[in-house]
Chain A
Amino acid sequence: MDKKLTDLREGNTGRVDKIVAGRGATKRLYEMGFNTGARIKIVKNDNGPVIVSLNGNKVALGRGLASKIVLGE
């Protein structure tokens, strides 16, 4: 059951399955820690950018970009 990062609610977690964005954006996300299998926790998801936690460190992502991250179990 794949889900977009923006579909998850606050407090939920998931692992990165793939990213469906342009080459540049995908690589940047990968290099910032959103690589295959990275465990992501949603800290904030309302209508602005999404805030996620990667190993306890917070990263803010614009909604457009966040919706391109597909999470699996």
Chain B
Amino acid sequence: MRNKRIALVGNPNSGKTTFFNGLTGANQHVGNWPGVTVEKKEGKFTHEGKEYDVIDLPGIYSLGAFSEDEVVAMEYILSDDADVIINIIDASNIERNLYLTTQLLEMGKKIILALNMVDEAEKRNIKFDIDKLSELLNAPVIPTVAHKGRGQDQIMEAVLEVLDQDKAHDNPLIYSGVVAHHIDHMEEIFKDQDLNYSPRWTAIKIVEGDPAVRKMLSEANLSPEAQQAIDEFYKYHSSDNFELEIVDSRYAFANKVAEQGVIRPEVEVVTRSDKIDKILTNKYIGIPAFALIMLLAFQITFAIGEELLGGFAADLIEGLGVLVESLLISISAPDWLVAFVVDGAISGVGAVVEFVPLITVLYLLLGLLEDSGYMARAAYVWDDLMRSFGLQGKAFISMIIGFGCNVPGIMSARTLDSRKDRMITMLINPFMSCGAKLPIYSVFIAAFFPGKGGLVLFALYATGIIVALIMAKIFNNTLFKGEPSYFIMELPPYRLPIAKNVIRNMWNNVSGFIVRAGTIIFSVVTIMWFLAVVPGSVEPYSQYTLLGRIGTFLTPLFRPAGFGTWQESVALFAGIPAKEAVVGTLGMLYAGLYMEEGVQLVNAIQQHFTQLTAISYMVMVLLYTPCAAVLGIVAKETKSFKWPAFLAIYTFALGWVAAVVIYQVGSLLGFS
């Protein structure tokens, strides 16, 4: 027998994913801004030996969808797959949250209401008459605090109880006036039709003019009379604003429920949020404050992740290398194996793993930012500027997410309403420098800009943002013309980041980094190592090896950008499967090349690069072709291979041009 299925439905940022994680033990991304979850996720919950499927969905304000993430949620709810819905409601914003509830009640689904974030409502002196709410809504209402697990047991008890009942409760919302007349009329017509939904609900949706339901009905097997009735209704009432009247009726109901079931304080409590917002959203301070937060984040990342902890990690890996080498020699392992493990695996993969502390700090800080509530403010302060480049503020959120990893950054473009905004946002996301590129910058910083790590990173990331905006403008004038979509976004209260959330987000990313080092990076380095030691008749790691010859063939391409040896050229291509492989490959190749001298990666880089070519190389890395995972997600999101191919090529060309310009102009000005 199929498991019973429980769907979590609610407004954006109401705590669905937090509840989902608590219930299923999953580790899905939680953040304090609307639009964190953009796809459907499933998990399991077991109770008394019985398994239930739990489904987390993107947040929605209504059952009519405007953006792709909302389509995912709406289609799932309309598919009628769920046996029961847990409607997660933000207790301090009850009217608006209940609007969606009215629509769920209308569908005739079995629903349980989780009155979430009651802790915050309490702080704002808002009180609830739970029994009254439950009576008015004709459904169980249970107060919860999702991240503490408060109320979870009661919710699940109620769920199990409702699952046993045959039928959902009746919908308490009654329409009146002309709208009611039309709904009744339509309901009568639909009564003897073969429909997937109740005649009542279908009738409401028709009067509301819901495009999704209209489409569904045009494909359904309706009688000619019923079809005619629908057509006539639209013919005569296309200019009546029934849909807005229906919205008003639902809100009137939600307001009535709130009036009777919620006790608000006489005077609104001035929250800490209001005070913080006075500064962070100020028209003069807003963008400089953002820049300052970024600069501070990079300074801290470098100071702690590299200068304080980086040494330990490097020593650890070096020690491990020596240990493994002597171990292998003591058991008289063949030379090639020793060479592979020491030069290939340890120098290559080790060069990447060394940076675990650095990226840990980066993701910790990003996590703090995400859980604080600042993301929505960043969207707000950037809206004006984004608009002059043809995008809107919301697109900036996906850019910030891209700093962690471009894959979720690109996926979050789903929250944008127009296709134009969405396409442009996806195509510029790779210029947001991700965590995987950090190791590359770090070795170059250590070689040429010691002590200035934070500043160099800030300059690189800022360059990324500027290039992204310029490209957005260009795309907006060429491939995707049109006005940016409207900006509308809730600004959630600032919250003290919850340790569990921050650590979860950090761990998801850091473990991904470690797993990648052990899989993709290891594979790439292994292949590169093999190519760098064959054929056996030539000097290994020299330009006469297979890899050396490939690299030598490529070098003329990069010579105008100043990095003219074959090692640097192949490393760039090795970075296409995953960016860390650039460092892995350089580490492996230089370790082989300077085997005798025992030169460190940083010293080798100092020998092969100058300050100027280090900059042109870093800019190339910043801008050129994103990793395979990014190209893959672009293919998936655009459902085409054309766009990822376009992305791969145009970013490469752009990176190349930028690197060449930097090197040539820099040389002319006498830098080296």
Residues on A lying within 8 angstroms of B by beta carbon are 24-33, 35-38, 43-44, 46-49, 51, 54-62, 64-65
A54, B95: Cα distance in complex, Å:
10
A51:B64 contact, CB within 8 angstroms: no
Closest to B487 in A: A62
Distance to closest chain A CB from B94 (angstroms):
8
Task: List the A side residues contacting B286 at CB < 8 Å.
Answer: 48
A60:B487 contact, CB within 8 angstroms: yes
A47, B533: Cα distance in complex, Å:
63
Interface of A is mostly: mixed
Q: What 4 A-B pairs have minimum CB-CB distances, sorted nearest first? A: A62-B487, A58-B491, A31-B62, A30-B247
Residue of A57, A59, A64, A65 ringed by the most chain B CB atoms within 10 A = A57
Task: List the B side residues contacting A59 at CB < 8 Å.
Answer: 488-491
B393:A55 contact, CB within 8 angstroms: no
A61 touching B488 in the complex, CB below 8 Å, given contacts A27-B243, A35-B244, A49-B384: yes
A32:B96 contact, CB within 8 angstroms: yes
- Check if B248 is an interface residue, CB within 8 A of chain A: yes
Distance to closest chain A CB from B430 (angstroms):
26
A48:B392 contact, CB within 8 angstroms: no
Task: List the B side residues contacting A25 at CB < 8 Å.
Answer: 486
B99:A33 contact, CB within 8 angstroms: yes
A29 touching B283 in the complex, CB below 8 Å, given contacts A35-B248, A49-B380: no
A56:B268 contact, CB within 8 angstroms: yes
18 extra A-B contacts, CB within 8 A, seeds A35-B251, A60-B376, A60-B490: A24-B66, A30-B244, A33-B96, A35-B244, A43-B277, A44-B281, A48-B380, A49-B393, A49-B487, A51-B281, A51-B380, A55-B94, A55-B95, A57-B490, A60-B379, A60-B489, A62-B387, A65-B487
Cβ < 8 Å to A, chain B residues 60-74: 61-62, 64, 66
Q: Which one, B99, B244, B283, B489, contacts A36 given CB within 8 A?
A: B244
B384:A57 contact, CB within 8 angstroms: no
- Check if B86 is an interface residue, CB within 8 A of chain A: no
- Check if B92 is an interface residue, CB within 8 A of chain A: yes
A35, B99: Cα distance in complex, Å:
11
B384:A32 contact, CB within 8 angstroms: no
A14, B247: Cα distance in complex, Å:
19
A25, B61: Cα distance in complex, Å:
13
Closest to A52 in B: B491
Distance to closest chain A CB from B174 (angstroms):
18
A31:B247 contact, CB within 8 angstroms: yes
A59, B124: Cα distance in complex, Å:
18
A49, B488: Cα distance in complex, Å:
9
Task: List the B side residues contacting A43 at CB < 8 Å.
Answer: 277
Distance to closest chain B CB from A7 (angstroms):
18
Task: List the A side residues contacting B379 at CB < 8 Å.
Answer: 60
Residues on B lying within 8 angstroms of A by beta carbon are 61-62, 64, 66, 92-96, 99, 124, 243-244, 247-248, 251, 268, 273, 277, 281, 283, 286, 376, 379-381, 383-384, 387, 392-393, 486-491
Distance to closest chain A CB from B364 (angstroms):
28
B64:A31 contact, CB within 8 angstroms: yes
Task: List the B side residues contacting A62 at CB < 8 Å.
Answer: 383, 387, 392-393, 486-488
Q: Which one, B247, B281, B376, contacts A27 given CB within 8 A?
A: B247
Task: List the B side residues contacting A35 at CB < 8 Å.
Answer: 244, 247-248, 251
Closest to A55 in B: B95
A51, B387: Cα distance in complex, Å:
17
A27 touching B244 in the complex, CB below 8 Å, given contacts A49-B384, A60-B489: yes
A57, B376: Cα distance in complex, Å:
13
B384:A56 contact, CB within 8 angstroms: no
A56, B274: Cα distance in complex, Å:
11
B488:A55 contact, CB within 8 angstroms: no
A55:B486 contact, CB within 8 angstroms: no
Distance to closest chain B CB from A36 (angstroms):
5
Q: Which one, A49, A57, A65, contacts B92 given CB within 8 A?
A: A57
A61, B394: Cα distance in complex, Å:
11
Task: List the B side residues contacting A29 at CB < 8 Å.
Answer: 488
Closest to A41 in B: B268
Task: List the B side residues contacting A33 at CB < 8 Å.
Answer: 95-96, 99, 251
Task: List the A side residues contacting B490 at CB < 8 Å.
Answer: 57-60
A35, B248: Cα distance in complex, Å:
6
A48:B283 contact, CB within 8 angstroms: yes
Closest to A58 in B: B491
Task: List the B side residues contacting A28 at CB < 8 Å.
Answer: 61, 66, 486, 488
Task: List the A side residues contacting B94 at CB < 8 Å.
Answer: 55
Task: List the A side residues contacting B64 at CB < 8 Å.
Answer: 27, 31
Residue of A27, A31, A38, A51 ringed by the most chain B CB atoms within 10 A = A31
B486:A64 contact, CB within 8 angstroms: yes
Q: Which one, B61, B62, B277, B283, contacts A47 given CB within 8 A?
A: B283
Task: List the A side residues contacting B95 at CB < 8 Å.
Answer: 33, 54-55
A-B contacts, 17 of them at CB < 8 A, read A24-B66, A27-B243, A28-B61, A30-B247, A31-B99, A32-B488, A37-B248, A44-B277, A49-B380, A51-B281, A54-B95, A55-B96, A56-B268, A58-B277, A60-B488, A61-B486, A65-B487
Closest to B268 in A: A56
A52, B372: Cα distance in complex, Å:
20
